[in-house]
Amino acid sequence: MRQCQCEQCGGQFPMNDTLRVGDRILCDACCEKVLPAAEADAPAVDLERQIDPTVCATCQKDNGTEELSRLAEMPVCEPCETFFRNRPFPAWIKLSLAAVIVLVGVSLVWNLRFFRAYGALRYSWACFAEGQVEVAAAQMASAAAYVPECEDIRVVSDYMEGVSLLSQDRYAEAVAKLSQCQSQMPPDSDVEILLAQAQGGVAFDNKDYDGFLAAAQTYDRKSPDSYMGKAMMASAWACKHAQSGDTGCRERSLECLKQAENLALGDPGFAEYESRILHRLQSRQIITRQEYYERFPEGWSPEKED
């Protein structure tokens, strides 16, 4: 753990318990005394909490004098980094399944519909875990229809349908469904990230490339460790270059594409996305993914351009 000296009172404090106020390092107590005076003299004060790179931001483990690796600009120990990069199955899914099991157990003597809802629910989650999004959405919709009084299942049904519509590039419909369940889904459902992706698709379809860029920037803010947000920004800047010929837009696109490549770590999905963006930058043609596949079924390279 690193120590810092307060420039006001001279005391030694853990680095995480100090703040940078302008060019000075102050402890919390001195900061409270100094800030009112600073606010009276100037309308704005640069205030920043210091972060000790040797203390885990999650579990507060002290790593002595060695700096920890960083995740989203925050120092994290190895166990915490492993947890965040290999997150267990979300607790909200387990809890929802447990809640339905209890519901079905109590309702066995009431009606067969609870048996059917339970079966559809379990099958839905199994399909969702295997990436069969459309089947999962259909099964969850069946479960919601069997027990319409269960609001939680209806919300998850809207969510899964939104994900399914997004996977089919039906962006406007996906926006409607995801917006409908956004406030009721837990944070680890990533509904805001999915919504930003769908909104970007709507903007692209409407040739609103400023809106496309804004949606991509939202995605990147919500998920800075994912390459997709930066790849979307590269795509949006490429659209703006294709539309206007502005070389600055081209440079921004290539910069975002490089950042995305560094995060993609060899993901084959990124390679396909990258080739479409490079094609757009060279040809200044804005075509859909389907049109791209139809024109270049074996992939694109500069030599294949007419």
pLDDT score at 272: 85
- Max CA pair span of the chain: 74
CATH of the domain at 244: 1.25.40
Q: Which of 126, 147, 150 is nearest to 136 (CA)?
A: 126
Main-chain phi, psi angles of 47, to 5 degrees: -130, 125
Distance CA 44, CA 177 (A): 42
pLDDT for 231 beyond 90: yes
Shared domain for 80 and 153, answered yes or no, is no
Shared domain for 220 and 172, answered yes or no, is no
Domain hosting 78: range is 3-85
Which comes out higher in pLDDT, residue 41 or 281?
A: 281
Please give the tally of structural domains in the chain: 3
Shared domain for 241 and 277, answered yes or no, is yes
Distance CA 156, CA 184 (A): 9
pLDDT score at 110: 62
Shared domain for 277 and 194, answered yes or no, is yes
Shared domain for 31 and 135, answered yes or no, is no
Shared domain for 31 and 96, answered yes or no, is no
Alpha carbon 135 to chain centroid distance? Answer: 24
- Looking at 28, 63, 85, the residue that finishes a domain is 85
- Looking at 146, 170, 185, the residue that finishes a domain is 185
**What is the pLDDT of the chain when averaged over all its residues?**
85
Shared domain for 111 and 178, answered yes or no, is yes
Shared domain for 202 and 289, answered yes or no, is yes
- Looking at 30, 55, 85, the residue that finishes a domain is 85
pLDDT score at 270: 86
Distance CA 72, CA 198 (A): 24
To which H or E segment does residue 102 belong?
Answer: helix 91-107
Distance CA 231, CA 227 (A): 6
Shared domain for 75 and 20, answered yes or no, is yes
Which long-range contacts (C-beta less than 8 Å, at least 24 apart) are formed by 81-85? none
pLDDT for 31 beyond 90: no
Shared domain for 81 and 96, answered yes or no, is no
How many helices and strands, by DSSP H and E, does the chain display?
Answer: 13, 7
DSSP secondary structure letters along 162-208: HHHHHHTT-HHHHHHHHHHHGGGS-GGG-HHHHHHHHHHHHHHHTT-
> What residues form DSSP beta bridges with 24?
21
Which comes out higher in pLDDT, residue 204 or 55?
A: 204
Global confidence as pTM: 0.58
Shared domain for 65 and 174, answered yes or no, is no
* pLDDT tens column, 65-75: 888 888 777 88
Shared domain for 198 and 171, answered yes or no, is no
pLDDT for 286 beyond 60: yes
